[in-house]
Amino acid sequence: MHILITGISGRIGANLAKSLLDAGHTVRGLIWERDRRIEKFANMDVELVEGTITSEDDVAMAVEGVDAIYHLGAAFQGGGPFTNSEYFEINVRGTFNMLEAAQALGSKLQQFVFASSDALYSKYTPTGIAEPIREDEFPLEPGGTYALTKLLGEDLCRGYIRNVGMPVTICRFALTVAGEEILDFRQFYLSHWRNAYANLTSPEAQAVAAQLEEAATRLGENTLVLARDGNGRTYKKHIADVHDIIDGLVAVLGKDKALGETFQLAAPKAFTWEEAMPYLAEKLGLPMVEVNLAGHAPTFYEFDVSKGRDLLGYVPRYDIFRMIDEGMALRAGDSVAVVPTHVA
> DSSP secondary-structure letter at 134?
-
Alpha-carbon span 62 to 4, nearest angstrom: 7
CA 37 – CA 8 distance, rounded (Å): 9
Positive or negative torsion for Cα 272, 278, 282, 288: positive
**Burial level of 238, CB count in 10 A (0-12/13-18/19+)?**
buried
CA 259/CA 183 separation, integer angstroms: 36
- Are 52 and 58 a contacting pair, CB within 8 Å? yes
pTM, entire model: 0.93
CATH code, residues 180-236+271-300: 3.90.25.60
Going by C-alpha positions, the residue among 142, 135, 136 that lies closest to residue 119 is 142
- From 12, 39, 11, 14, select the one nearest 29 (Cα to Cα): 14
Residue ranges of domains in the chain: 2-173, 180-236+271-300
Q: What does the radius of gyration of the chain's CA atoms come to, in whole angstroms?
A: 21
Average pLDDT of the residues in 59-71:
97
Quick one: pLDDT at residue 336? Answer: 45
Give 266-324 pLDDT, tens digit per residue.
999 999 999 999 999 999 999 999 999 999 999 999 999 999 999 999 999 999 999 99
Q: What is the percent of the chain where pLDDT is above 70?
A: 95
Per CATH, domain 2-173 is 3.40.50.720: yes
**pLDDT tens string 13-59:** 999 999 999 999 999 999 987 666 778 888 899 999 999 999 999 99
> Residues with Cβ < 8 Å from 169, sequence gap 6 or more?
111, 112, 113, 114, 252, 258, 259, 260, 261, 262, 263
pLDDT confidence of residue 81: 84
pLDDT of res. 281? 98
Nearest in space to 134 (alpha carbons), one of 186, 172, 167: 172
Secondary structure class of 51 (helix, strand, coil):
coil
In this prediction, what percent of the chain has a pLDDT beyond 90?
A: 90
**8 Å CB contact between 344 and 322:** no
Residue type, 105: L
Burial class from Cβ neighbours inside 10 Å (0-12, 13-18, 19+) for residue 311 reads middle
